[in-house]
């Protein structure tokens, strides 16, 4: 028994030594400056977090080693201003997503934009909402939990598991950075708070889906629709190609064709086009000339409204020009029926963030991936939307090829 225990201990020590040797000698971060103890273990960083001194710990390392320093075996801190702006702007994630799409095109001749847009949107949402990216773009793959969930909608188990991970990350990072979820965590941890731990985890899961799937689906259909019209593709590539490389989201707001393409995508392929239920208030209401008593559920779905031919001539055709002034149509009147983000008090709280991600991602793609075309697999049959709550391509992918 003692010999077995000694053998197990020896094996454990050997594994630890091998892991340590890898961190010091073979890690892809081995060339980044930093002390030996941060190269070998996360413990110093964790101690600084527990003692409330994380900012001082990292600042001291920057003072000693410069603007780029390794603060843990798998973590790097950067303090230079250009890199700070690149890391913390969605534009940085756009560049990474487009680079991954290009890399896969060069390596295999094809790339599934639905996959990469999902990774992009999830990473941006994770960073903004919980203080930490999920790292899917860097990995080039999803986590196992992502693979287990159904392609059409997120299961309750998925929401619970990933919501729990996000809450844990947010609690850790809230010590040094504020994020969208911090206020909810603060409320849940009050003795008099009304939010339970289960409420917080569930809400975290809902935020992940709301901030990732919707953007990914919209971007996928945008790429598919534009590549289906080569003349439109050329015009859009020319418009975004004329923009100075240092562009920001404010510059993209002024590009008429880019914004028209996004609006038309939201009209025809908005990610959540289904019914949004409401309960009729006290004393009932009159709808379309019919009295509906209180307590009855009424709903509207943007899918039907967006196909109203009195608002949108030839409504089933993707026609971005309908949103441009000077073509004999009235874009402002057409916008009155546009509701891809819901409406009123129940409208999407993330609408401005969504627009930012859509503009930056679409502009980045059509600047850097000029001349790409749809793969033969990207047919109407494979892209026809299936709808549970969100829509999704029935083929569960959208492949593109080099032109």
What is the per-residue pLDDT across 157-201, written as a single tens digit (0 to 9) for each?
A: 444 455 555 555 555 554 444 455 555 555 555 555 555 656 555
How many Å apart are CA 208 and CA 186, to the nearest integer?
19
Q: Say whether 398 counts as a known binding-site residue.
A: no
DSSP secondary structure of 294-333: TT-EEEEEHHHHTT-TTTSSSTTS--GGGGSTTSSS-HHH
Ramachandran assignment for 304, one of left (phi > 0), alpha (psi -120 to 50 degrees), beta (any other): alpha
Q: Which residues contact 28 (CB under 8 A, 6 or more apart)?
A: none
> Structure tokens of 25?
């000698």
CATH number, span 90-142+212-273+307-401:
1.10.630.10
Mean pLDDT of the chain: 78
> Structure tokens of 254?
């002024």
How many Å apart are CA 221 and CA 362, to the nearest integer?
11
Nearest Cα residue to 377 out of 394, 361, 362: 394
Nearest Cα residue to 249 out of 378, 379, 353: 353
24, 27, 29, 33: CA torsion to nearest 10: 10
0.75 exceeded by pTM: no
Q: Which residues contact 173 (CB under 8 A, 6 or more apart)?
A: 130, 131, 132, 179
Q: What is the mean pLDDT of residues 223-249?
A: 95
Q: What is the mean pLDDT of residues 13-19?
A: 62
Q: Render pLDDT for 101-147 as a digit per residue (tens, 0 to 9).
A: 999 999 999 999 999 998 888 888 776 666 666 678 877 765 444 44
| Strand 275-279 to 297-301 pairing | antiparallel
Domain ranges of the chain: 1-78, 90-142+212-273+307-401
As to burial, measured by CB atoms within 10 angstroms (0-12 exposed, 13-18 middle, 19+ buried), residue 76 is: middle
């Amino acid at each position: 028994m003692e010999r077995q225990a000694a053998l197990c201990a020896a094996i454990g020590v050997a594994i630890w030594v091998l892991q340590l040797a890898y961190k010091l000698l073979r890690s892809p971060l081995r060339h980044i400056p930093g002390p030996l103890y941060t190269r070998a273990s996360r413990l110093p960083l964790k101690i600084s977090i527990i003692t409330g001194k994380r900012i001082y710990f990292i600042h001291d390392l920057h003072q000693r080693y410069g603007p780029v320093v390794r603060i843990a075996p798998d973590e790097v801190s950067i303090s230079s201003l250009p890199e700070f702006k690149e890391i913390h702007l969605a534009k940085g994630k756009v560049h990474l997503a487009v680079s991954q799409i290009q890399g896969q095109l060069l390596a295999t001749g094809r790339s599934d934009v639905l996959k990469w847009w999902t990774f992009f949107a999830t990473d941006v949402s994770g960073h903004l909402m919980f203080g930490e990216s999920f790292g899917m773009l860097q990995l080039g793959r999803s986590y196992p939990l992502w693979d287990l969930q159904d392609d059409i909608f997120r299961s309750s188990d998925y929401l619970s598991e990933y919501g729990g991970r996000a809450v844990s990350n947010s609690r850790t990072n809230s010590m040094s950075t504020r994020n969208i979820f911090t206020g909810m965590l603060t409320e849940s941890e009050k003795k008099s708070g009304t939010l339970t731990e289960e409420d917080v985890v569930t809400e975290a899961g809902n935020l992940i889906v709301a901030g990732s799937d919707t953007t990914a689906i919209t971007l996928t259909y945008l790429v598919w629709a534009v590549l289906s019209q080569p003349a439109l593709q050329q015009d859009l590539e020319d418009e975004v190609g004329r923009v100075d490389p240092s562009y920001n989201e404010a510059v993209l707001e002024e590009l008429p064709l880019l914004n028209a393409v996004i609006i038309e995508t939201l009209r025809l392929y908005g990610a959540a086009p289904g019914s949004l239920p409401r309960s009729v208030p006290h004393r009932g209401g009159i709808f379309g000339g019919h009295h509906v008593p209180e307590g009855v559920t009424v709903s509207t779905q943007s899918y039907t409204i967006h196909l109203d031919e009195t608002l949108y001539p030839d409504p089933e055709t993707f026609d971005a020009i309908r949103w441009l002034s000077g073509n004999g149509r009235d874009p402002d009147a057409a916008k009155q029926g546009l509701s891809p983000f819901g409406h009123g008090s129940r409208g999407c709280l993330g609408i401005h963030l969504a627009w930012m991600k859509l503009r930056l991602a679409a502009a980045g793609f059509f600047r850097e991936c000029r001349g790409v075309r749809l793969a033969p697999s990207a047919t109407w049959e494979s892209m026809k939307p299936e709808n549970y709550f969100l829509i999704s391509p029935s083929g569960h992918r959208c492949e593109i090829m080099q032109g």
